[in-house]
Amino acid sequence: MNVRLIEQAEIQLKKLTQAIEQSPVSVVITDVSGTIEYVNPKFIEVTGYTLEEAIGANPRVLKSGIQSTQYYKDMWRLLASGKEWRGEFHNRKKNGELYWEWASISPIKDNDGEITHFVAVKEDITERKLAEEKLEKAYEEINLNLNKAVELHKKFMPTSMPRIEGFNLSAHYMPAQKLGGDFYNIIDFENQTLIYIVDVSGHGLDGAMLTIFLRETINHYIYEEHAKHRSLTSKGILNFIKTQCLKETILEEHFVCLLVGVLDKHTNKFSFSNAGIQIPIFIANEDGSISTLEIQGMPISYYIDPQMYEFTEIEIEMDVGSTLFIATDGLIEQENNGVPFGLHRIHTFLEKNYFKESQQQVINMNELYFKFLDGNACLDDVTFLVIQRNPKILRAWNFKINKIEDIASLEKQLSKLICCNEINMNSFFISLQEIITNAIEHGHKMNQSKIVKIDIFLFKHFLKLQVTDQGEGFDWRKRIDKKIDLENYSERGRGISLSSMCCEAIDYNEKGTTATLFFKKNNSENNLN
């Protein structure tokens, strides 16, 4: 029986020895002082040292000098405490070549728990480290290209909106990443204004170069048409862009989606042509009715047969007080917990904000979008334009007061100037009193040397009240949605909350020194009660 056990033990020992000898990783055994007593063939293959050179040597012969002395001290301190050490070595072979190893070193203990030897199992990870270095360099190059592309993109984005008589234009652009594929521009050109919005598939330097190419192509088209004394057409622009794009290799890996609009400033008519923009144009009329305009058109791409392109041109007349809302798909496709922002939110937003100036609509839409995001990452670029033909001001008044006692006199004047059947005068006067009182009490601290300016504009379907004080401003965002505190009449938020309940909408400038309130007229739909 004992013979059989011995034989089995010898077989197991032989297997273990063969496993170590044939192992694809290096195995080294040293005594407690670090003198090598055993190395397997893989160690010899990796390091270039012969068995005779390795036995009796110290593993420090492999040290390259790249890693610090403290690194090895920490390793030996851990091993001396009887614990396993794991880490990387940047070693040097016998021929001087550097290489990387991942090592696991463990103490070997006798029956009394004393450390007698150390065993190291080491894997050559040089190829992996080289691949990581290449990847890191590639990332650095990508970041460098992205930074270049960001600068290019910034330089070619509009820095301001052109002033067009009778119109109000605003835009918003937010890239999803460091650099996006969206782009827009508005060019005022003699009797016409060109507006276009671009969504290029792909990001990075190629995407930036393509948007620059598109911009320059459009500028070239404008120059050529001007030289020929011809008017711009949205369809003509798209056909020219398509022809030029398909000649260039830059389009081979990209799709270009582009919506072009041309405004005739004499007739106030807009002509639109589309190449791949999926969101319809929203039209908000002066009376608050909302409609959409869908224009079909395929994106510009090498993968589409050129014979299939047939851009259409749709013309609309911009009535007084009407607003166009144009966006790329990044807005509606953004999700929060699987729920998309969607077209319906744009529709609802315009129903509630159509009477505001384009700049304020951009601000409010941006606020709505970030509220919807709720801290989630932006999945795609978000770009939208708001184009508004100014509503006609029927009447306008302006006043200046510096003390609360003057409010009653102001209300008497306004009772004579504004017909009581035009708006809900009770709601109007509550808002007027609260906002002016806030301005004098909290903005001016009752300082009568400071003036509160009141501007009132009457339009066909609504009235706009604007109150501006000379105070330092306040953080109105924290107060505008706050519930009324009936027990704290000195609280500024009470006046804001009460005023917001009495009007259709209330906005503040960034500083908080100008409040703008809107009241729908009684002959409008959805009038205030």
Output the CA angle 366-368-374, nearest 5 degrees.
Answer: 105
Cα separation, 233 vs 529, whole angstroms: 47
238 and 156 share one domain: yes
More confident residue, 27 or 209: 27
Sorting pLDDT into bands at 50, 70 and 90, what band is 489? Answer: very low
- What confidence score (pLDDT) does residue 399 get? 96
Confidence class for position 146, pLDDT limits 50, 70, 90? low
Task: Look at residue 514 and tell me whether its pLDDT is greater than 50.
Answer: yes
For residue 334, is it within any domain? yes
Tally the residues of the chain: 529
In the chain, how many domains are there? 3
pLDDT beyond 90 at 498: no
Percent of the chain with pLDDT over 70: 88
Please state the rounded mean pLDDT for residues 168-194. Answer: 85
Q: Are residues 467 and 350 in the same domain?
A: no
Q: Mean pLDDT over residues 279-307, rounded?
A: 92
The answer to whether residue 482 is domain-embedded is: yes
For 494, the domain range is 395-520
Q: Do 360 and 211 share a structural domain?
A: yes
**pLDDT for the residue numbered 14:** 76
Quote the pLDDT of residue 78: 94
Q: For residues 214 and 254, what is the distance between their CA atoms, to the nearest angstrom?
A: 13
In-domain check, residue 528: no
Same domain, 283 and 364: yes
Quick check: is 167 in a domain?
A: yes
Predicted pLDDT of residue 181: 76
Residue 48: pLDDT over 90: yes
Please give the mean pLDDT across all residues of the chain: 87
The confidence band for 525, taking pLDDT boundaries of 50, 70 and 90, is: very low
Give the DSSP H or E segment for 98.
Answer: strand 98-109
Cα distances (angstroms) measured from residue 86 to each of 117, 121, 314: 17, 10, 70
Instruction: Determine the pLDDT at residue 479.
Output: 63
CATH code of residue 421: 3.30.565.10
When pLDDT is cut at 50, 70 and 90, the band that residue 482 belongs to is low
Q: What is the pLDDT of residue 393?
A: 96
Q: What is the pLDDT of residue 449?
A: 93
Give the model's pLDDT for residue 405. 93
Lowest-pLDDT choice from 22-36, 173-187, 199-213, 300-314:
199-213
Average pLDDT rounded to a whole number, residues 248-277: 89
Determine which of 87-96, 304-313, 388-397 has the lowest per-residue pLDDT on average: 304-313
Query: Which CATH number is 82's domain given?
Result: 3.30.450.20
Residues 19, 104, single domain; the answer is yes
Q: Three-state SS for 6?
A: helix
**pLDDT confidence band for 12 (50 / 70 / 90):** confident
Note the pLDDT of residue 62.
94
Q: Is there a contact between 453 and 467 (Cβ–Cβ < 8 Å)?
A: yes
Average confidence (pLDDT) over 35-45: 94
In angstroms, rounded to a whole number, what is the distance separating the alpha carbons of residues 14 and 358? 85
State the average pLDDT over residues 162-172.
Answer: 94
Q: By the 8 A CB rule, do 278 and 251 touch? A: no
- Range 456-483 average pLDDT: 83
Contacting residues for 517 by C-beta, under 8 A, at least 6 apart: 431, 435, 464, 465, 466, 467, 499, 503, 505, 506
Cβ neighbours around 289 below 10 Å, total? 13
Position 466 pLDDT exceeds 80: yes
Domain termination site, one of 58, 92, 124: 124
The verdict on 169 and 248 lying in the same domain is: yes
Are 447 and 329 part of one and the same domain? no
Q: Is residue 448 pLDDT above 80, yes or no?
A: yes
Identify whether residues 340 and 451 lie together within a single domain: no
Quick one: 376 and 358 in the same domain? yes
Average pLDDT over residues 166-174: 93
* Per-residue pLDDT tens digits for 74-125: 999 999 999 999 999 999 999 999 999 999 999 999 999 999 999 999 999 9
* Confidence check: pLDDT of 492 > 60: no
The pLDDT of 292-306, averaged and rounded, is 88
Q: Are 92 and 44 members of one domain?
A: yes
Confidence of residue 526 (pLDDT cuts 50, 70, 90): very low
Q: Are residues 280 and 294 in the same domain?
A: yes
Predicted TM-score (pTM) above 0.85: no
**pLDDT at residue 397 tops 60:** yes
Domain boundary residue among 337, 362, 389? 389
- CA atoms of 252 and 175, how far apart (whole Å): 23
CB-based burial, 366-396: b 16+ in 10 Å, e otherwise: eebbeebbeeeebebbbbbbbbbbbbeeeee
Q: What is the per-residue pLDDT for 527?
A: 41
**What local confidence, expressed as pLDDT, does residue 205 receive?**
59
Distance between the two ends of the chain, CA-based, in angstroms?
105
Is the domain of 197 the same as that of 248?
yes
* Residue 194: CATH number of its domain: 3.60.40.10
- Examine the pLDDT at 296 and tell me if it is beyond 70: yes
Mean pLDDT computed over 171-176? 87
Rounded Cα–Cα distance for residues 182 and 194 (Å): 17
CA dist 449 and 451 (Å) reads: 7
Who has greater pLDDT, 482 or 528?
A: 482
| Rounded Cα distance, 517 and 526, in Å | 17
* Last-in-domain residue among 389, 416, 440: 389
260: nearest Cα among 222, 227, 230, 228: 222
Which pLDDT score, from 0 to 100, does residue 481 have? 57
22 occurs within a structural domain: yes
The predicted-structure confidence for 500-513, as pLDDT tens digits, reads as follows 889 999 999 988 89
